[in-house]
């Protein structure tokens, strides 16, 4: 359907051509002499309207009532001009073939269902307009992410999922355990889904082959090693956080994009983040027109204008200290009172992006070192670090980044201050011993980007199979 209807003239250059459409029935209208069937194959937002008269081969399947919404079908026919106002072309059916019937219990009928309900049907929700559109926009954002970095000379590297280090030092890691064959006295089977046979028991005394290991919270430290050899690099992969928070912006498993720029400082980092975000937003607007128009009508009114502004206009930049000043002057009572040194809460971020700068992305820089991670480069004032967060309306923090501490002495001092185990960072410290360079990078939470670019209010709808407390069913 994308091949036929995806072009600028919505299929008119296909007039007279014979095609085969394979997809799922969205709607069915049976009249005495002609049957209209809208078929969607997910390749684009558009359905193909298939018009079948009683002499089409396979028409008996219509008569016997076999076709229903949700059924999979294979339709042969000719592209002709359409009389309908919704489309320029339609398929005049010569041969119809039912591939898979659809039971009447199909839960995603034409009537509108809530996104909360659809979360319980994660295996079927991609068949809806909303989740089809979100999946294609997500795909465009992923593709344009690689495109942006590749066009700018970055090398993509894979960072490990299993690791012994805690990049953010916040202790929000999932622990890896080993499922070992055989029985041991006292072993238990904690998951009902694991067969209760003698062959598969979890031995909690085992972790990663005898050593502690966790699911990674960030690929940054690994990316830094490659940036110290290949210059500009980026990672794009799954990361995990064991935060037991049920919010609309947090997942236990999310994808992160982490560029790392060698011979660069915080200004280069902010410039890269800005150019990258503008590039992917522009790409989605230009390449997902139909999907974006649907989202603009049904999910967030005005999203196209909002994103166009993001793609074109400069972002606001201010220091943490100025942000605190601004919040102190605000004629608003915050639940969490503001004072220099405090972490900014989502109500503060909201005020800054939505009220103070009326919807523009805002980059806040130079945070107090106490509220930021050990690896951030200390500024000359001794109080702040060269960190930046990029905030956008509704979603809040979309990007977190910093210039890294490249000076061995300073880094060791900071590890000591924070009582972190220096030995376990030996390889990270080596980078500062052998040809250290100023470098900087950031992490963008991909699902928050999808949320931002689609207008979805809940991050659980921005990833096909969300993982959050209590949900790992599908
Ligand atoms: O600010 P964070 O914790 O930064 C880092 O992990 C750095 N090591 C990144 C770097 O400099 N390479 O996380 C980065 C981003 C956040 O701004 C947010 O968009 C996203 O990751 N994020 C989450 N997204 C969904 N669910 C969660 N639980 C998230 N935690 C962070
Ligand atoms: Mg952060």
State whether 31 and 90 are in the same domain: yes
Tell me the CATH number at 427: 3.30.930.10
User: End of a domain among 84, 100, 116?
Assistant: 100
Given a cut of 70, whether residue 194 has pLDDT beyond it is no
CB atoms under 10 Å from CB of 332, counted, come to 10
User: End of a domain among 81, 100, 119?
Assistant: 100
State whether 89 and 140 are in the same domain: no
State the closest ligand 1 atom to the C-alpha of 217, by its place in the atom list counted from 1: 6
State the closest ligand 1 atom to the C-alpha of 243, by its place in the atom list counted from 1: 28
Tell me the CATH number at 76: 2.40.50.140
Q: Bin 463: left if φ > 0, else alpha if -120 < ψ < 50, else beta.
A: beta
Domain contains 472: no
State whether 260 and 392 are in the same domain: yes
**Ligand 2 centre from 321 Cα, in Å?**
17
Question: Are 422 and 409 in contact, with CB atoms under 8 Å apart?
Answer: no
Distance CA 167, CA 149 (A): 23
**Ligand 2 centre from 399 Cα, in Å?**
7
State whether 18 and 142 are in the same domain: no
Report DSSP letters for 240-304, one per residue: E-------SS--SEEEEEEEEEET--HHHHHHHHHHHHHHHHHHHHHH-HHHHHHHHHHT-TTHH
Given a cut of 70, whether residue 133 has pLDDT beyond it is yes
Nearest by Cα to 353 from 344, 345, 362: 362
End-to-end CA distance of the chain: 29
Given a cut of 50, whether residue 400 has pLDDT beyond it is yes
Query: Which ligand minimizes its atom distance to the CA of 402?
Result: 1
Distance CA 112, CA 117 (A): 10
State whether 54 and 140 are in the same domain: no
Whole-prediction pTM value? 0.94
pLDDT, average across residues 291-319: 97
State whether 275 and 410 are in the same domain: yes
- For residue 470, the model assigns a pLDDT of 79
Q: Which CA distances in Å does 182 have to 193, 194, 199, 205?
A: 17, 13, 5, 14
> Rounded mean pLDDT of the chain?
92
State whether 391 and 431 are in the same domain: yes
Query: Which ligand minimizes its atom distance to the CA of 343?
Result: 2
**Ligand 2 centre from 317 Cα, in Å?**
17
State the closest ligand 1 atom to the C-alpha of 402, by its place in the atom list counted from 1: 11
Task: Kindly state the DSSP code that residue 356 receives in the 8-state scheme.
Answer: I
Domain contains 202: no
Given a cut of 70, whether residue 200 has pLDDT beyond it is no
State whether 59 and 137 are in the same domain: no
Q: β-strand 316-319 against 362-368: which pairing, if any?
A: parallel
State whether 288 and 380 are in the same domain: yes
The values of phi and psi at residue 53, to 5°, are -95, 170
Domain contains 112: no
Given a cut of 90, whether residue 112 has pLDDT beyond it is no
Q: Which residues line ligand 1 (CB under 6 A)?
A: 167-168, 218, 220, 241, 243, 250-251, 254, 256, 258, 397-402, 441-445, 447-448
**Ligand 1 centre from 19 Cα, in Å?**
46
Query: Which ligand minimizes its atom distance to the CA of 401?
Result: 1
| Token pair listed for 13 | 């250059």
203: pLDDT confidence band, cut at 50, 70 and 90? low
State whether 315 and 444 are in the same domain: yes
Domain contains 405: yes
Q: Bin 443: left if φ > 0, else alpha if -120 < ψ < 50, else beta.
A: beta
Given a cut of 90, whether residue 222 has pLDDT beyond it is yes
pLDDT in tens, 62-79: 888 889 999 999 999 999
Given a cut of 70, whether residue 129 has pLDDT beyond it is yes
Which residues constitute the domain of residue 77?
Answer: 2-100
State whether 420 and 295 are in the same domain: yes
User: End of a domain among 78, 100, 122?
Assistant: 100
Nearest by Cα to 375 from 428, 311, 326, 327: 428
**Ligand 1 centre from 452 Cα, in Å?**
15
Domain contains 205: no
Residue with tokens 């990316």: 223
**Ligand 2 centre from 32 Cα, in Å?**
62
Domain contains 247: yes
Query: Which ligand minimizes its atom distance to the CA of 277?
Result: 1
Domain contains 375: yes
pLDDT, average across residues 306-323: 97
- For residue 64, the model assigns a pLDDT of 87
- Count CA atoms closer than 13 A to 178's CA, side-chain side: 12
Nearest by Cα to 157 from 276, 269, 260: 260
Q: Which CA distances in Å does 185 have to 189, 356, 457?
A: 12, 63, 49
Domain contains 85: yes
pLDDT, average across residues 382-390: 98
- For residue 180, the model assigns a pLDDT of 59
What ipTM did this prediction achieve? 0.99
State the closest ligand 1 atom to the C-alpha of 441, by its place in the atom list counted from 1: 11
**Ligand 2 centre from 443 Cα, in Å?**
8
Domains: count for the chain:
2
Residue nearest (by alpha carbon) to ligand 1 atom 2: 400
The values of phi and psi at residue 79, to 5°, are -75, 125
Distance CA 72, CA 1 (A): 15
State whether 231 and 149 are in the same domain: yes
Residue with tokens 């990672």: 235
192: pLDDT confidence band, cut at 50, 70 and 90? very low
């Amino acid at each position: 359907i994308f091949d036929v209807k995806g072009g600028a003239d919505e299929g008119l250059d296909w007039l007279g051509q014979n095609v085969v459409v394979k997809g799922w029935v969205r709607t069915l209208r049976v009249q005495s002499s002609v049957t209209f069937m809208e078929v969607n194959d997910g390749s684009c937002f558009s359905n193909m309207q298939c018009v079948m008269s009683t002499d089409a081969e396979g028409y008996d399947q219509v008569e016997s009532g076999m076709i229903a919404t949700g059924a999979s079908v294979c339709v042969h026919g000719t592209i002709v001009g359409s009389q309908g106002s919704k489309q320029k072309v339609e398929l005049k059916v010569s041969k119809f073939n039912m591939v898979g019937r659809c039971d009447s219990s199909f839960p995603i009928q034409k009537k509108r269902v809530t996104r909360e309900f659809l979360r319980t049907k994660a295996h079927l929700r991609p068949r809806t307009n909303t989740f089809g559109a979100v999946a294609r926009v997500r795909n465009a954002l992923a593709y344009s992410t690689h495109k942006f970095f590749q066009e700018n000379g970055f090398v993509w590297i894979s960072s490990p999922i299993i690791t012994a280090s805690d990049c953010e030092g916040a202790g929000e890691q999932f622990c890896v355990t080993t499922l070992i064959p055989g029985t041991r006295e006292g072993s238990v089977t904690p998951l009902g889904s694991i067969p209760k046979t003698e062959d598969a028991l979890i031995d909690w005394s085992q972790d990663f082959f005898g050593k502690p290991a966790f699911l990674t919270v960030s690929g940054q430290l690994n990316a830094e090693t490659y940036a110290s050899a290949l210059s500009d690099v980026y990672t794009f992969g799954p990361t995990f956080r064991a935060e037991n928070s049920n919010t609309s912006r947090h997942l236990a498993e999310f994808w992160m994009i982490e560029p790392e720029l060698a011979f660069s400082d915080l200004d280069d980092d902010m410039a890269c983040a800005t150019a990258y975000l503008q590039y992917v937003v522009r790409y989605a607007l230009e390449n997902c027109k139909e999907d974006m128009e649907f989202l603009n009508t049904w999910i967030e009114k005005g999203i196209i204008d909002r994103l166009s502004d993001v793609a074109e206009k400069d972002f606001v930049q201010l220091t943490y200290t100025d942000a605190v000043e601004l919040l102190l002057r605000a004629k608003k009572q915050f639940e969490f009172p503001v004072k220099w040194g405090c972490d900014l809460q989502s109500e503060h971020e909201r005020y800054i992006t939505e009220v103070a700068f009326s919807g523009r992305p805002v980059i806040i820089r130079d945070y107090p070192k106490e509220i930021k991670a050990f690896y951030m480069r200390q500024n000359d004032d001794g109080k702040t670090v060269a960190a930046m967060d990029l905030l956008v309306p509704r979603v809040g923090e979309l990007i977190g980044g910093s210039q890294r501490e490249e000076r061995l002495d300073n880094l060791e001092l900071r590890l000591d201050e924070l009582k972190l185990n220096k030995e376990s960072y030996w390889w990270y410290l080596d980078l500062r011993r052998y040809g250290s360079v100023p470098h900087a990078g950031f992490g963008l939470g991909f699902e928050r980007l999808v949320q931002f670019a689609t207008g979805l209010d809940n991050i659980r709808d921005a990833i096909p199979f969300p993982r959050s407390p209590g949900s790992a069913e599908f």
